[in-house]
Amino acid sequence: NAGVMQNPRHLVRRRGQEARLRCSPMKGHSHVYWYRQLPEEGLKFMVYLQKENIIDESGMPKERFSAEFPKEGPSILRIQQVVRGDSAAYFCASSRIPGLADYEQYFGPGTRLTVT
Amino acid sequence: AQKVTQAQTEISVVEKEDVTLDCVYETRDTTYYLFWYKQPPSGELVFLIRRNSFDEQNEISGRYSWNFQKSTSSFNFTITASQVVDSAVYFCALISSGYALNFGKGTSLLVTP
Of A33, A42, A89, the CB nearest to B105: A42
Work out the widest C-alpha separation in chain B, in whole angstroms: 43
pLDDT in tens, B43-102: 999 999 999 898 888 888 899 999 999 999 999 999 999 999 999 999 999 998 788 999
Cβ distance A109 to B44 less than 8 Å, yes or no, reads yes
With cut-offs at 50, 70 and 90, classify the pLDDT of residue A101: low
* Residue A76 β-bridge partners: A22, A68
The whole-number pLDDT of residue A99 equals 63
Is the pLDDT at A63 greater than 90? The verdict is yes
Chain A residues whose CB is inside 8 A of the B102 CB are: 45
How close B109 comes to chain A (CA, Å)? 16
With cut-offs at 50, 70 and 90, classify the pLDDT of residue A102: low
Is the pLDDT at B103 greater than 60? The verdict is yes
* Per-position b or e across B51-86, b if 16+ CB within 10 A of its CB: bebeeeeeeeeeebbbbbeeeebbbbbbbeebeeeb
Is the pLDDT at A100 greater than 60? The verdict is no
Q: What is the overall mean pLDDT for chain A?
A: 92
The whole-number pLDDT of residue A60 equals 96
Chain A residues whose CB is inside 8 A of the B43 CB are: 89, 109-110, 112
Of A56, A107, A109, the CB nearest to B98: A56
The whole-number pLDDT of residue A97 equals 75
